Homo-oligomer: A and B are copies of this chain.
Amino acid sequence: MTNTELAEVESVADKPERQRLSAQDWEIAALELMAEEGVAAVAVESLARRLGVTKGSFYWHFSTRDALIEAALKRWEDTDNHNTIARAEQIENPTRRLRELFRQTSREMRSHKIYAALLKAADHPVVAPVMERVSNERIAYLARVFVQAGMQPVDADHRARLTYSTYVGFLQLALQFRASRLSSDAFDDYVGHVIDTLVPN
């Protein structure tokens, strides 16, 4: 672990073309590809080409393709993911926290693209448990905040589910149908409407 960290630091210098890869490099590249072209596109040979090596390298780091997927998802869950909620937690007022959560969420694309890709691969045995865990955590978090914002527990559960469904649905509609994409202003208007409709008070 200390070894890899040192390697990481050094790698910042000779970034452009470096010869020897670590498992991390494969995981990161896998997430990148996943965000762009979906889980199915994460193929060993394809990834290897991207990294300028061959599969001979891959199978030294990972025993199987699924092992890579699993490691990559773990990385995603640990980093991209926990940050989202942690950042929102800093705002005291729950109503304002929800507003900010929505606005923040409506910006940074990368993690969302990955989540969208995972949604489309929810039948994959490695992906399914991750998705279930992440989604349920988020819904539960939303429910807690709705309670803090003054809703009854039952209503808060429903509203959390409704809210999260809205998020998931939006990902599908927006990220897939690239044609009917909203302009930046129109999108802000839409988010405003969503907030007014779903956030109490």
Q: Which residues of A contact B (CB under 8 A)?
A: 38, 40, 119-123, 128, 131-132, 135-136, 154-155, 158-159, 161-162, 164-170, 172-173, 176-177, 179-180, 189-190, 193-194, 197-198
How many monomers of this chain does the complex have?
A: 2
| A164 contact from B122, B132, B164, B169, Cβ within 8 A | B169
Main secondary structure of the interface of A (DSSP, over half): helix
| A119 contact from B128, B132, B172, Cβ within 8 A | B172
A165 CB to nearest chain B CB (Å): 3
Which residues on B sit within 8 Å (CB–CB) of A197?
Answer: 159, 162, 197-198
**6 additional contacts (CB under 8 A) given A136-B180, A169-B169:** A158-B193, A161-B190, A165-B167, A168-B168, A168-B172, A197-B198
